[in-house]
Homo-oligomer: A and B are copies of this chain.
Amino acid sequence: MSSTYGTLFKISTFGESHGPAIGVVIDGCPAGLTFDTEFIQHELDRRKPGQSRITTQRREADEFDVLSGVFDGQTQGTPIALIIRNTDQRSKDYGHIAQQFRPSHADYTYQAKYGSRDYRGGGRSSARETAARVAAGAVAKLLLAQHGVQIRAYVSQVGALKLDKPYTELNLNLTEENPVRCPDSDMAGQMFQYIDETRKRGDSIGGVIDCVITGVPAGWGEPVFDKLHAELGKAMLSINAVKGFEYGSGFAGVELYGSQHNDEFYTDETGKVRTRTNHSGGIQGGISNGEAIYFRTAFKPVATIMQDQDSVDVDGQPVTVSGKGRHDPCVVPRAVPIVEAMAALVLVDMMLRNEAAQVGRTTKQAEFL
């Protein structure tokens, strides 16, 4: 079990779906940051269940308590502990799976690894854990905002419905205007209907989230193993249900020639070094180059469906698993703030690490930027 992430801005999440609470401890948040409670709650609200009929109907207020690390409205450089009480557990919905393994859930692997599991609502493997990430990510966003960094994710695909436009042709301010979180309202409407139909059939469907990050200066990211995009990839892949990650030109870039793919440099009118194209996705050699960073994350259809499925029980005997509980037919609308939160956690850690790497830089070198 590693429920910790980060080198300098370290988070430790805890909590099971149906335990008393979930939460997170942030160790390494610099002092002096105005702790904007309202903003953090706003981020949690974007993720919380029950937002529309295409999300799970579990009713969680997802209000958080600050146990430490904030004084006079400011961070103190000390660990910030945030907890969110679980209020609407219906653990009895899960009694039937105490002895069964739900297909494509983590029931079997947790049992294999740990010899037991808290089966209620998926226990620790539940996506409920991501609420803690969103809370921590909101703090990271506050710090990044001070440095001009903006992170915006949106739904670009649901099932086979693809938004085939680059982010540069979209108005990302519209993302939050609809429950699907797709900035194209037409496509959002189609997606909503598609998810809703899937829900009615007791089935689930996958999707893709795109994310765009602006305002990151050249120089963030730590080669060789902790390349900026490698950490982003790990962070995204650590989110429940994620099956793939690509940045910049991604899998499609494979089919380009180098002469097409290379991003030529030029100096803009302000004297800043820029690239004419951005197949690199804002990252070269694992380090940000000052252009927009963008990436895509693929989510599988959620495993819980309202249909009977064949499986085995803890003794290996065949059983039929029936769908119960309250679940999302498609996770991507609620996963948008999670993607943003994880991106924020990666970036803030890289910002702090880069700060340390700059010790001893002379003025001349700093001027280069």
Asked if A55 CB lies within 8 Å of chain B CBs, one says: no
A21 touching B67 by the CB < 8 A rule? yes
Name the residue in A80, A220, A312 with the highest tally of chain B Cβ atoms < 10 Å from its Cβ.
A312
Q: Is the interface of A mostly helix, strand, loop or mixed?
A: mixed
Residue in B closest to A330 when the chains form the complex, CB atoms: B258
CA of A185 to CA of B67 in the docked complex: distance in angstroms? 42
In the complex, how many angstroms separate the beta carbon of A287 from the nearest chain B beta carbon? 4
Number of A residues, CB within 8 Å of B: 164
- Evaluate contact between B80 and A123: CB separation under 8 angstroms: no
| Pair A32/B369 contact, Cβ less than 8 Å | no
At the interface with chain B, which of A37-45, A46-54, A175-183, A199-207? A199-207
Q: Mark A352-367, 1 if CB is under 8 A from B, else 0.
A: 1111111111101110
The answer to whether A27 and B2 touch across the interface, beta carbons within 8 angstroms, is yes
Enumerate chain B residues within 8 angstroms of A304, measured Cβ to Cβ. 258
**A247 on the interface (CB 8 Å rule)?**
yes
The reply on A302 being an interface residue by CB < 8 A is yes
The segment from A7-15, A56-64, A165-173 found at the interface with B is A7-15
Judging by beta carbons under 8 Å apart, are A1 and B288 in contact? no
A230 within 8 A of B: yes
Contact B261 A104 (CB under 8 A): yes
Q: Name, among A7, A13, A113, the residue most crowded by chain B CB atoms within 10 Å (CB to CB).
A: A113
By a CB distance below 8 angstroms, the chain B residues around A71 are 16, 19, 116-118, 123
CB distance from A358 to the nearest CB of B (A): 7
Cα distance, A305 to B369, chains bound together (Å): 27
Which residues in B have their C-beta under 8 angstroms from that of A288? 109
Q: Are A299 and B237 closer than 8 Å at their CB atoms?
A: no
Please, which residues of chain B bring their CB within 8 A of the CB of A369? 112
User: Would A238 and B230 count as touching, CB distance under 8 A?
Assistant: yes
Given A251-B298, A253-B206, A285-B106, A312:B273 Cβ within 8 A:
yes
Provide the A64-81 mask, 1 if CB < 8 A to any CB of B, else 0: 011111011010111111
- Tell whether, in the assembled complex, residue B257 and residue A78 are in contact, meaning their CB atoms are under 8 Å apart: no
- The answer to whether A114 and B254 touch across the interface, beta carbons within 8 angstroms, is no
| Cβ-defined partner of A123 (8 Å) among B21, B78, B114, B207 | B78
Given contacts A3-B78, A112-B290, A246-B246, 14 further A-B contacts (CB under 8 A): A2-B28, A3-B223, A16-B69, A16-B71, A20-B66, A32-B115, A32-B361, A71-B123, A108-B273, A109-B219, A160-B255, A229-B237, A254-B300, A261-B303
